[in-house]
Amino acid sequence: MDPDTPEPSGLRIPDLKIPGLLKLTADRRKALATAAAAVVAIAVLLVGGMVFVSFHEGQQVAAFNSHVSASEADLFLVSGKITSHMRTPTNDLSVAECDAHVREFAAIANYGRAVTAYHRRIVAVDAVPEAYAGAQSAYVRALDNLNRAFTFWSSAASAYEVRDYNAANRNIAEADKAWQEYNAAITDYDRELRVVEEGPEVPPA
């Protein structure tokens, strides 16, 4: 040993390796990774779930939309037949023309009954988000009332065929009532839809 450079025996750097600490660090890293994985998993589940629920509800509303749209398209055709029929002046028809007019009325009534029953069956079983349940219920009620009105029209036409004009008039009066209930149901439907889509601050219709 060189005496000029004596080895300071008292200053030996101790071995700083702490095996326990190293082990702890490795465990912590694993724990952190696991926790992060769990957080990611939960986040993925949450976000995925929310996206899925939102997508699913969107799909339900889209289906409801398409069913109401199809119903409205068919009702538009019925409405066209009714409007054309009602425009026919009846003040100078012959007896045969009166009979033909009422037969057409009966055919429109049967058409209206079939259309409303068909679309009611479809719209009523639509699975819709809870927020749309009120609108769906009101629309189904509207179709029911319209169906009832057409049934009374049909009965009025049958009464005419057997020349029971009093019964025909009674059926027409009942049909008018059912039609008013249809109007009320459509007003409810519009209001429910506006509440869902524009918020609860919607003024009453």
Partner 1 sequence: MEWKDVLPVLVGGLVILVVALVVKPALLGEPIGFASSGSVPAGDPPVYVPPAPVPTATPFPDDGEAYTRSFRWTAIDGGVRTTEVRVPEALFLTHRGTSRFSDYNSWGRYALADADRPLLEDLAHRIAPPAANPDEGYFRLMNLVFFVQQIPYDRDDNTTSYIEGVLPSHAMYVKDGVEYPKYSVETLVDGRGDCEDAAILMGGLLDALGYDTVLLRYSDHMALGIRMNEFNPYYAKYTPRHFMYGGQHYYYVEGTDFDWGNISVGSTAIWGRPHPIGDTSGTGIPSVQSETPQIIPLRYVPEPGEYQIRPVRLPAGGA
Site for partner 1 in 108-167 (CB under 8 A): 108, 110-111, 114-115, 118-119, 121-122, 125-128, 132, 135, 139, 146, 149, 153, 156-157, 159-160, 163-166
Q: Which of 31, 46, 197, 205 binds partner 1 (CB under 8 A)?
A: 197
CB of 20 to partner 1, least distance (A): 25
Site for partner 1 in 13-72 (CB under 8 A): 33-34, 36-37, 40-41, 44-45, 48-49, 52, 55, 57-65, 67-70, 72
Q: Which of 20, 76, 201, 204 binds partner 1 (CB under 8 A)?
A: 76
Distance of CA 48 to the CA centre of its chain: 22
CB of 29 to partner 1, least distance (A): 10
> Which tokens sit at 196?
């869902």
> Which tokens sit at 151?
């049934």
DSSP label at residue 4? S
* Helix (H/G/I), strand (E/B), else coil: 168: helix
Q: Are 111 and 78 in contact (CB under 8 A)?
A: yes
CB of 204 to partner 1, least distance (A): 16
Q: Which stretch binds partner 1 (CB under 8 A): 8-16, 17-25, 90-98?
A: 90-98
Q: Which of 77, 84, 133, 205 binds partner 1 (CB under 8 A)?
A: 77
Q: Are 144 and 151 in contact (CB under 8 A)?
A: no
CB of 53 to partner 1, least distance (A): 10
Residue 153: name the closest of 199, 101, 97, 107 by CA.
107
CB of 89 to partner 1, least distance (A): 11
By CB atoms closer than 10 A (0-12, 13-18, 19+), residue 167 is middle
> How far is it, in rounded angstroms, from Cα 163 to Cα 68?
39
Q: Which of 24, 86, 133, 205 binds partner 1 (CB under 8 A)?
A: 86
CB of 22 to partner 1, least distance (A): 20
CA distances from 177 to 104, 114, 164 (A): 22, 20, 21
Neighbours of 118 (CB within 10 A): 15
Q: Which stretch binds partner 1 (CB under 8 A): 5-13, 18-26, 184-192?
A: 184-192
